[in-house]
């Protein structure tokens, strides 16, 4: 773990949290069973703990996972900076991204799988960012040959289906951020999250909804019909600045942090069947706020 000190910034902080993690969530992320943390795996491999051949094989795989995550961070030490372009024109939230302001805004590729071992090699989605005096607009264009997303009650597990996700960290000095997940059929999950700075993952408050959020979606194909071939879907979000605690009044030059992601379901709705991709390398998952991009509000592309 001393190698993590050579990587700029705090990109390895969540890896350290995961390595030493004692909570059930961190063990599940690594495929570990009870009481098998990263240090215990190393003790087994170093011969410092009695182990069966199966335990040694398991420990070797876990350390290989950790090395893979570390290499991905080391090979991409710089988190990309993004820009949201001011729009003077109204945006119709229909999921089509047809307004000229959308087409003149550079697309942001969403092409980094959270877990390389689950990557299915499908075409990647893109996102675009706009803003005005009231809203941050996020538009997604998602290629998908089989769109699966049933209608949901608010705050259902939309992320277990085909959906887009936007994580907003208004103030880097605070560990509080919002997770917003929307399906093309209108399902919305928004929850307030607080990062555990010295522990893996975050705490979530689904009861706390983001006031004033608007969204719309469209599908090019037939939703929830696996017998045909779809082309994909689009989703547009309007996130009111006033609801982002710690951000204040929007103006050119102001910034926040974000992770833009897509959930791609292949099979029955379960985490094991969902490929999560982000616009930047986040091998520790969406709660790795140190890997979020800085988004700066600008007047022109």
Half-sphere exposure of 29 (CA within 13 A, CB side): 25
Q: Which pairing describes strands 293-298 and 82-86: parallel, antiparallel, or unpaired?
A: parallel
Query: Given this model, what pLDDT does residue 32 score?
Result: 55
Give domain limits for the chain: 2-75, 82-298
What's the token pair of residue 80? 């990309």
- For 262, the 3-state DSSP assignment is strand
Query: Given this model, what pLDDT does residue 68 score?
Result: 79
What's the token pair of residue 278? 């982000």
Provide φ and ψ at 290, rounded to 5°. Answer: -75, -10
Helices 53-75 and 38-45, packing angle to 10 deg: 120
Residue-level length of the chain: 301
Among left, alpha and beta (phi > 0; psi -120 to 50; other), residue 224 is: left
**Own/partner pairs, 45-50, CB within 8 angstroms, 24+ separation:** none
Query: Given this model, what pLDDT does residue 34 score?
Result: 47
User: Which of these, 136, 90, 124, 153, lies nearest to 251 by C-alpha position?
Assistant: 136
| Contact (CB, 8 A) for 17 and 4 | no
Residue entry with tokens 């907003």: 168
What distance in Å separates the CA atoms of residue 120 and residue 113, rounded to the nearest whole number?
A: 9
What distance in Å separates the CA atoms of residue 144 and residue 235, rounded to the nearest whole number?
A: 13
What's the token pair of residue 101? 């302001």
Topology given in CATH for the domain delimited by 82-298: Immunoglobulin-like (2.60.40)
Residue entry with tokens 């709705």: 269
Largest CA distance in the chain: 67
What distance in Å separates the CA atoms of residue 278 and residue 179, rounded to the nearest whole number?
A: 13
Q: Which pairing describes strands 255-265 and 232-240: parallel, antiparallel, or unpaired?
A: unpaired
What distance in Å separates the CA atoms of residue 229 and residue 144, rounded to the nearest whole number?
A: 9
What's the token pair of residue 238? 């309007």
Give the global pTM: 0.89
Ordered per-residue pLDDT tens for the chain, 301 residues: 555 555 555 777 787 777 776 666 666 666 555 455 677 888 888 899 899 998 888 888 888 877 877 777 777 767 899 999 999 999 999 999 999 999 999 999 999 888 776 777 778 999 999 999 999 999 999 999 999 998 889 999 999 999 999 999 998 778 899 999 999 999 999 999 998 887 878 899 988 999 999 999 999 999 999 888 999 999 999 999 999 988 999 999 999 999 999 999 988 888 888 999 999 988 777 888 988 999 999 998 7
What distance in Å separates the CA atoms of residue 126 and residue 137, rounded to the nearest whole number?
A: 14
What's the token pair of residue 71? 């290499």
What distance in Å separates the CA atoms of residue 187 and residue 46, rounded to the nearest whole number?
A: 49
Query: Given this model, what pLDDT does residue 30 score?
Result: 62
């Amino acid at each position: 773990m001393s190698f993590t000190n050579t990587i700029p910034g705090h990109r390895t902080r969540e890896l350290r949290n995961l390595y030493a993690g004692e909570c059930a969530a961190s063990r599940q992320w690594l495929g570990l069973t009870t009481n098998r943390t990263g240090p215990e795996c190393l003790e087994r491999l170093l011969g410092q703990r009695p182990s069966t051949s199966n335990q040694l094989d398991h420990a070797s795989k876990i350390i290989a996972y950790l090395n893979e995550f570390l290499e991905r961070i080391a090979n991409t030490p710089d988190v990309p900076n993004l820009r949201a372009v001011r729009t003077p024109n109204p945006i119709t939230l229909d999921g089509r991204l047809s307004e000229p302001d959308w087409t003149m805004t550079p697309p942001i590729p969403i092409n980094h799988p959270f877990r390389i071992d689950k990557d299915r090699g499908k075409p990647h989605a893109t996102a675009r960012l706009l803003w005005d005096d009231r809203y941050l607009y996020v538009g997604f264009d998602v290629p998908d040959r089989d769109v699966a997303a049933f209608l949901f009650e608010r705050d259902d597990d939309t992320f277990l289906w085909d959906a887009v996700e936007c994580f907003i960290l208004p103030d880097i000095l605070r560990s509080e951020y919002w997770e917003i997940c929307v399906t093309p059929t209108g399902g919305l999950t928004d929850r307030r999250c607080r990062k555990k700075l010295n522990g893996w993952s975050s705490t979530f408050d689904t009861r706390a909804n983001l006031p004033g959020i608007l969204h719309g979606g469209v599908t090019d194909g037939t939703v929830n019909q696996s017998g045909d071939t779809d082309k994909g879907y689009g989703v547009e979000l309007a996130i009111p600045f006033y609801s982002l605690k710690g951000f204040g009044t929007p103006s050119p030059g102001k910034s926040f942090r974000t992770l833009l992601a897509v959930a791609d379901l292949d099979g029955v709705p379960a985490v094991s069947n969902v490929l999560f991709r982000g616009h930047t390398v986040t091998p520790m998952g969406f709660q790795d706020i140190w890997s979020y991009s800085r988004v700066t509000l600008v007047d022109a592309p």
